[in-house]
Structure 1
Amino acid sequence: MAEITLNSPAAKAAVPGDLGWHLATVLRGYQTRFETAVAGIPAGIRGFQVLSAVVHRDPPNQQALAAHLVIDRTVLTYLLDALVEAGVVERVPDPADRRARKIVATEAGRRTLTEYEARVASAEADLLSGLEGYQAETLGGLIGHWANAVHRAQPGANPCEAMDNL
């Protein structure tokens, strides 16, 4: 696959507005694969995101989890109800504040997350299959860096809205 640089014909052909179309196209491809990969997990994509954040980010309480995911507390309550009912997370009193609740994954939840992470990784690999390995790795690093910069500039922006409005 030919490398695209700032002076390559592919880069010169871009016009203002193309970036948005390209991002939307990639996002739609990702969303389709992601939805398929997490089909069956309680509460779908958002359930996966909650379970992943609980396991990998270990937020100190439910409020911190909502803030991390930029999910309204009311919506998070419904998501957590579904995950608790499925036996993948549980609410436990926060040792620092007995009025607050910490969300922890159960052993079944950790196994569930491992299974679904493998599915998501496969879906992501499928989406990136049009790129050479080094290109996919570079793209992942650049997008991560870019996303963090955008998040710092707009910390309250809800990434789920972009998916919902796609």
Structure 2
Amino acid sequence: MLRGGAGDGAATTLEPYPESVNYLTINCGRTIVALLPALAASLGHVLWRASARVTGALDGTVAPTTDIHGYAVLLALGDEGVPRSQQWVADAVALSRTTLTKVAARLVAAGLVERVRNPADRRAWALTRTPAGAEAVARWEPLVERLQDAVSGGLDSAEREELHDLLLAVTRPHLSPEAPSSLLASTGFLVTRLHARMHADLAAALRELEVEPRHLGTFRALRSAGPFPQAELARHLGTSGPTVVEIVDHLERLGALERRRPEADRRTQVLHLLPRGEALLTAADERAEAVISALLAPLSPDQRDRLRALLVRFVEG
């Protein structure tokens, strides 16, 4: 396994990790554990976990300044010296203009991309890949392929192909015809794009409930296996302690759950789902089902179940 190290604008160098190091744990940032059945049954949660696994594995693997979005942009820019408008690039890699602007700024600062005047509109700027950017992609491609094989290690070759084809069927209608074939061939890219689309649609559907997509896992975990300590919730959700504190604070303000300190251990905060939380989850589930059904319209019911099952295997490794 290789890691990237670079100074301010310096050429990126790649060094090997010691063979004894479990690089999935390093790159994913946490140990993968079996999902609670209630969470494994939720496509939204499983897809979030799969996307987090891909991005966690890639971030910092190619270079400290380049994440999965940056790598996708470099691939999309393709031939060195060919300028592309920022809108073209954003469409090609399925990013918002706001996100692309931030990604492009990091790539320009690293010397991998250059901003030039758009030949089609001299008032606007276009992006082009520099020789250093082309060299970096050539150096990183085999590394990324090895990493993607590693994060999908829980699947055999036929299951990997099946997962890829299901993801492509769902995401293809939302991707630009200009999307590079190398990205369309990447299961990791398709996972992150489907998650981004589902998250955006679900966030919009839940907004008037004052609930966010990331809150649903907490509701489901507590309804199926709670009450349990706050620290245990972080483990079940596969997220950090501070993030769980933010989630619990918000849901407590909504009257959806409450923290209680048991007499036997006053240092521990145990989370209890309240009737208001049950009602919110029921309403949120109805909206989530509508969003997911729309996104998965290209798949049959059996294919939808199969997609979720394969993603669970992907997440659990």
- For residues 134 and 43 of structure 1, the distance between their equivalents in structure 2, rounded to whole angstroms, comes to 30
Aligned residue runs from structure 1 range 1-166, under 5 A: 18-42=186-210, 44-58=212-226, 60-94=228-262, 96-149=264-317
Instruction: Measure the CA separation in 1 of the matches of 2:301 and 2:289.
Output: 14
Higher RCO (CA-CA < 8 Å; seq separation 6+): 1
Q: How far off its partner does 1:116 sit? A: 0.4
Preserved contact between residue 61 and residue 94 of structure 1 (Cα < 8 Å): no
Scaled by the length of structure 1, the TM-score of the pair is 0.70
Report the alpha carbon displacement of residue 74 of structure 1 after superposing the two structures with TM.
2.7
Provide the rounded CA distance (Å) in 2 between the counterparts of 1:23 and 1:75. Answer: 22
Counterpart CA distance in 2 for 1:147 and 1:32 is 21
Report the 3-state secondary structure (helix = DSSP H, G, I; strand = E; otherwise coil) of the residue aligned with 1:98.
coil
Counterpart CA distance in 2 for 1:103 and 1:130 is 39
Structure 1 residue runs of 4 or more that deviate by more than 4 Å after TM superposition: 14-17
Distance in 2 (CA, whole Å) between partners of 1:45 and 1:26 is: 14
Helix, strand or coil at the partner of 2:261: strand
SS at match of 2:239: coil
- Asked if 1 retains the 8 angstrom alpha-carbon contact of 2:228 and 2:272, the reply is no
Structure 1 stretches of 5 or more lacking a match? 1-5, 150-166
Shift of 1:76: 2.1
Give yes or no for contact 1:47–1:79 (8 Å, CA) kept in 2. Answer: yes
Contact 1:59–1:102 under 8 Å retained in 2: yes
CA contact (8 A) 1:66 1:72 kept: yes
- How far apart are the structure 1 equivalents of 2:210 and 2:245? 13
CA contact (8 A) 2:199 2:213 kept: no
Q: Aligned partners of 1:27 and 1:38: how far apart in 2?
A: 16
Given the superposition, is the C-alpha separation of residues 94 and 42 from structure 1 closer, same or farther in structure 2, using an over 3 Å criterion? Answer: farther
Aligned equivalents of 1:40, 1:68: Cα separation in 2: 27
- What CA distance in whole angstroms lies between the structure 1 residues aligned with 2:207 and 2:286? 13
Per-residue CA deviations over 1:40-85 (Å, capped at 9, x if unaligned) read: 3445222232222222232521111122223332332232222111
1:33 and 1:18 map into 2 onto residues whose CA distance is 23
> 1:139 and 1:125 mapped to 2: Cα distance?
13
CA distance in 2, matches of 1:105, 1:59: 7
**Distance in 2 of aligned mates of 1:72 and 1:41:** 24
Answer whether contact 1:59 1:65 (CA < 8 A) is retained. no
**C-alpha separation between the residues in 1 aligned to 2:202 and 2:309?**
20
Measured in 1, the distance between the counterparts of 2:234 and 2:191 equals 26
Corresponding pairs, count: 139
1:35 Cα deviation from its structure 2 partner = 1.4
